[in-house]
Amino acid sequence: METPLLLFPQLNISASKDKSYYKAMKSVIKEEPHKASKPGAKQKRNRLSLLLQKPEFHESDHLGKPGNVAKPASVSPEEAVKWGESFDKLLSEKAGLDAFTKFLKTEFSEENIEFWIACEDYKKSKTAHELLPKAKTIFETFIQKDAPKEVNLDFHTKEATSQNIHQPLITTFDTAQNTVYRLMEQDSYPRFLRSDPYLNLVKGRNPSRPTLRRRSRSFTVNDFQGVRPDFTVW
């Protein structure tokens, strides 16, 4: 039995949640009918996102509820600043991972981080018996053509990954995961660091409570009594 590679031990998930997550993924894939009138990719993504929001699939684990990002008040400016040190540092912190996931949702590219998380979970499999169903689910959800949450992979990476699906190893998705990781690190991560939500955290602000401009004086009806309009300005 091979010992799985644990890149980020902070991201833990229970075995029961694993099964529920992959069971949910498989059920969504089975619902993709081979009909003449095939649902559009956007509709597929919406269906999967709605299913993943069900509380039975997410509790306190690293997957989290979509949009259920750690409250800004629980993240200190010092901690937020550390997220800017490296992409690894950001993903190793649960609050950082949640904040980055929420940011990707605003860019409609959350499939990248969800694929990365699924691969991290896949590498935590303790037996070879667990690998095949998980590998098939990941492949059908994120990699195969017209998958509900298809990630952007080059042809050779996609082909090499598909050839190993029927006899998966713990390293089956390593190349694909690294490709998506670099894409997020070079593209999405810099934009996240420039985003208002992140900058607000660094400055110690709560983005959920926008800053209101203070009015110098409140006018009342009495202020306008006896005032005649001057039409000469028109």
The pLDDT value recorded for residue 226 is 53
Going from the N-terminus, what domains does the chain have, and what CATH number goes with each?
77-203 (1.10.167.10)
Other CB atoms within 10 Å distance of the CB of residue 177: 23
The single residue listed with the structure tokens 């699924």 is 118
Tell me how far apart the alpha carbons of residues 182 and 152 are, in angstroms, rounded to a whole number.
11
Sequence-distant (6+) residues with CB within 8 A of 217 are none
Rg of the chain in Å (alpha carbons) = 23
Which tokens belong to 92?
A: 């190793």
Tell me how far apart the alpha carbons of residues 175 and 177 are, in angstroms, rounded to a whole number.
5
Quick: pLDDT tens for 5-29: 444 444 444 444 455 555 555 554 5
Contact 48, 28 (CB under 8 A): yes
- Give all strands (DSSP E) within 39-184, no chain letters: none
Task: Print burial letters for 115-143: b (CB count within 10 Å at least 16), e (below 16).
Answer: bbbbbbbbbbbeeeebbebbbbbbbbbbb
Total-model pTM? 0.59
Contact 62, 94 (CB under 8 A): yes
The pLDDT value recorded for residue 74 is 81
Express as a percent the part of the chain with pLDDT over 70.
Answer: 56
Quick: pLDDT tens for 72-107: 448 999 999 999 999 999 999 999 999 999 999 999
